[in-house]
């Protein structure tokens, strides 16, 4: 296919067909409908030319209407090219994710469901047994695939560009190379004292020792089942409907949005056509976190289904993920707002809950920042004991929770699509805090039921799809760029009284 002598329209149509096919496979896998992602048929039968370096060269020689069009299409093709040429490793990793089992007592549990199970275990030794069994699978089954996969991906990159791994993906994703490390450092430094004190106070209340807790302990502590009576399952969907109605959206009438339940912990939003079809796949475990995950997933989904259908493919589907991910965080933050809790859940005695839920949110953000910082080192070193020790040190230091070296390559799952994902997620949390500050300043403290604020969100943040970067949107709102101080101030306001 000679793209160089043509307009990009024919390739863009093929790229959209590819992304729809790849997304459909991802949805089928994440929702538990298929045991794999079908990558072999995708690259060998349906889109064999996407692993061609000739196609890549032709695309780089094309003359686009807008430079960003070429960059976004190049990012898609580069991701597909490297995934396709290293698909044996990707398939092997997926096989472990889908089929590995762990044993707890006399119960066999799917490996990928273990992290959804351990927050429900009151007994700490049983939590540790399950987490250790989960980690043993990583060490014995995943790492033997992830180590050569990382090397294989790096070996394929020179056919696409002269840069090193992080410089290549930073350029295609429009992120300044130094930004992930700088942003992570600022977030970690500005919240360190507040987080350390707040976590030690809370862990003491639930009988856990600071600096000697495992991830499963933290997940159990933040599950905070004592709040389940405030957040019962039968009120979750009515609340979600009301949240959307406050913004002038009738959730039950959105036939292009599908809320489903799957095996994996947390929530994921998978578009099969933008804006025509989006699936929100969530694992329910009860309590306030189900509400938080539902709000997050639907916030992501609204950014997709509200996108202007007349936009080009690359404007609807590709581009900076930061504003898209921030939409979910904008919705999630409602759950930490005392005024909103009183108005929408009649929950007025919410001080303890707001503190605990904000502490859980800060834990997530600090872990994301640590992963963003660690990823910078991951791609500059060889796999092995030294890098594993770095992972343990960086993650444990940021979260005050024991992280184990066995997990040092787990961040590679989803590669190369997932490269720089922690950095983008961190950008999204900072961006969302700035949007909240803007909405309160320009419209109302209770922006969540302001018609003017709703119009701004829908018209300025969602309707343009991914045409604008986070920095451009912040400029429209009067900011000079990402400002982590605004995010840190949100936590200071809630946690300083501890």
Q: pLDDT tens digits, residue range 5-33?
A: 446 889 999 999 999 999 999 999 999 99
Apex CA 453: angle with CA 230 and CA 187, to 5°? Answer: 70
Kindly indicate the confidence band of residue 64, based on its pLDDT and cuts at 50, 70 and 90.
confident
- In sequence order, the 6+-apart residues with CB closer than 8 A to the CB of 336 are 354, 357, 358, 361, 494
Give me the pLDDT at residue 8, please.
Answer: 84
Mean pLDDT of 179-199: 97
Interval 231-272: pLDDT, tens: 999 999 999 999 999 999 999 999 999 999 999 999 999 999
Mean pLDDT of 360-366: 98
Interval 117-159: pLDDT, tens: 999 999 999 999 999 999 999 999 999 999 999 999 999 999 9
Q: Is the pLDDT of residue 319 over 60?
A: yes
Interval 431-461: pLDDT, tens: 999 999 999 999 999 999 999 999 999 999 9
Please return the burial class of 346, using the count of CB atoms within 10 Å of its CB with bins 0-12, 13-18 and 19+.
exposed
Give me the pLDDT at residue 7, please.
Answer: 64
CB 370 within 8 A of CB 350: no
Cα torsion for 27, 32, 34, 39, to the nearest 10°? 50
Cα torsion for 91, 97, 99, 103, to the nearest 10°? 150
Kindly indicate the confidence band of residue 3, based on its pLDDT and cuts at 50, 70 and 90.
very low
CB 447 within 8 A of CB 439: yes
Give me the pLDDT at residue 210, please.
Answer: 86
Q: Is the pLDDT of residue 4 over 50?
A: no
- Secondary structure tally for the chain: helices H, strands E: 22, 5
Give one word for 249, left, alpha or beta, with left for phi > 0 and alpha for psi -120 to 50. beta
The number of C-alpha atoms within 13 Å of 261 and in the hemisphere containing its C-beta is 5
Mean pLDDT of 481-495: 96
CB 257 within 8 A of CB 251: yes
Give me the pLDDT at residue 340, please.
Answer: 97
Give me the pLDDT at residue 381, please.
Answer: 86
Quote the mean pLDDT of the chain.
Answer: 95
Q: Is the pLDDT of residue 378 over 60?
A: yes
Mean pLDDT of 351-377: 97
Q: Among all chains, which residue has been given the structure tokens 């992972």? A: 391
Alpha helices in 310-420 (DSSP H): 313-317, 322-332, 338-345, 351-378, 385-399
């Amino acid at each position: 296919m000679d793209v160089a002598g043509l307009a990009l329209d024919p390739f863009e149509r093929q790229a959209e067909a590819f992304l729809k096919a790849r997304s459909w496979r991802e949805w089928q896998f994440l929702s538990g409908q298929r045991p794999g992602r079908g990558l072999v048929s995708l690259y060998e039968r349906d889109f064999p030319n996407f692993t061609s370096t000739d196609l890549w060269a032709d695309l780089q020689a094309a003359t686009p209407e807008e430079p960003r069009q070429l960059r976004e299409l190049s990012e898609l093709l580069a991701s597909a090219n490297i995934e396709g040429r290293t698909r044996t490793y990707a398939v092997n990793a997926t096989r472990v994710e889908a089929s590995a089992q762990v044993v707890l007592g006399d119960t066999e549990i799917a490996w990928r469901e273990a992290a959804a199970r351990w927050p429900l275990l009151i007994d700490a030794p049983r939590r540790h047994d399950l987490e250790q069994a989960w980690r043993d699978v990583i060490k014995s089954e995943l790492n033997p695939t992830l180590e050569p996969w990382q090397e294989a991906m790096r070996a394929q990159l020179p056919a696409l560009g002269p840069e090193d791994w992080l410089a290549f993906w930073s350029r295609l994703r429009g992120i300044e190379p130094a930004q992930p490390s700088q942003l992570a450092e600022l977030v970690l430094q500005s919240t360190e004292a507040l987080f350390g004190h707040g976590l030690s106070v809370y862990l003491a209340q639930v009988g856990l020792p600071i600096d000697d807790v495992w991830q499963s302990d933290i997940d159990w502590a933040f599950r905070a089942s004592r709040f389940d009576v405030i957040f019962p399952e039968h009120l979750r969907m009515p609340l979600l409907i009301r949240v959307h109605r406050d913004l002038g959206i009738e959730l039950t009438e959105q036939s292009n949005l599908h809320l489903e339940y799957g095996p994996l912990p947390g929530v994921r939003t998978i578009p099969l056509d933008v804006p025509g079809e989006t699936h929100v796949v969530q694992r329910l475990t009860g309590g306030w976190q189900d509400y938080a995950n539902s709000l997050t997933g639907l916030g992501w989904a609204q950014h997709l289904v509200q996108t202007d259908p007349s936009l080009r493919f690359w404007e609807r589907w590709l581009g900076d993920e930061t504003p898209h991910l921030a939409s979910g965080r904008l919705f999630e933050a409602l759950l930490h707002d005392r005024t909103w809790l009183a108005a929408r859940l009649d929950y007025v005695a919410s001080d303890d809950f707001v503190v605990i839920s904000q502490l859980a949110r800060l834990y997530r953000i600090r872990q994301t920042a640590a992963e963003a910082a660690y990823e910078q080192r991951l791609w500059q070193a060889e796999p092995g004991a030294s890098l594993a020790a770095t992972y343990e040190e960086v993650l444990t230091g940021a979260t005050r929770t024991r992280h184990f070296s066995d997990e040092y390559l787990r961040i590679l799952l989803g590669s190369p699509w997932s490269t720089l994902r922690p950095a983008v997620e961190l950008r999204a949390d900072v961006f969302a805090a700035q949007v909240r500050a803007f909405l309160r300043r320009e419209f109302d403290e209770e922006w969540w039921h302001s018609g003017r604020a709703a119009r701004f969100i829908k018209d300025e943040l969602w309707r343009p799809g991914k045409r604008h970067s986070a920095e451009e949107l912040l400029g429209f709102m009067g900011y000079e760029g990402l400002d982590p101080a605004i995010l840190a101030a949100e936590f200071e306001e809630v946690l300083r009284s501890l």
